[in-house]
Every structure is written in C-alpha cells, then in structure tokens.
C-alpha cells in the first residue's frame, strides 16, 4: 500500500492543468506570468538584503 500525499497530488494536478492550458509551452506560461505580474503595481513583499557579518580570520 503506497502512501498518498494530498499536497503532492494537488501540485501534480495543477502542473497538468498548466501544461494543458499552454499546450506544454513553458515560454508561453512564463510570458503569461510576467504579464499578470505587470498588472499588479502593488508591492507584494518587502525583503531587505541580508547583512553580512565580518568573518574571523584564522591564522
């Protein structure tokens, strides 16, 4: 008896729907995503750059 993961199944189903919608053409899919992103002028996330800490030099 195999373990069934509902999240994995949902991701796989979504992938199949995307492939069907764009006829397997990932370039068209990413173009669609970029167009949708450009419609949303609201900033969705604010992530500041990570601060680096000085490294101790071992001699």
Q: What would the pLDDT profile of 5-22 be if each residue is shown by its tens digit?
A: 999 999 999 999 999 999
Asked if 24 and 17 touch (Cβ cutoff 8 Å), the reply is: no
Predicted pLDDT at 5: 92
pTM for the whole thing? 0.51
Domain locations along the chain: 6-39
Q: Closest by alpha carbon to 28, among 18, 38, 37?
A: 18
pLDDT bracket for residue 50 (50, 70, 90): confident
């Amino acid at each position: 008896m195999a373990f069934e993961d509902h999240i994995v199944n949902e991701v796989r189903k979504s992938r199949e729907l995307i492939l069907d919608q764009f006829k397997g053409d990932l370039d068209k899919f990413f173009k669609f995503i970029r167009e949708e992103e450009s419609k949303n002028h609201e900033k969705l996330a604010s992530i500041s750059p990570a601060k680096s800490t000085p490294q101790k030099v071992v001699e």
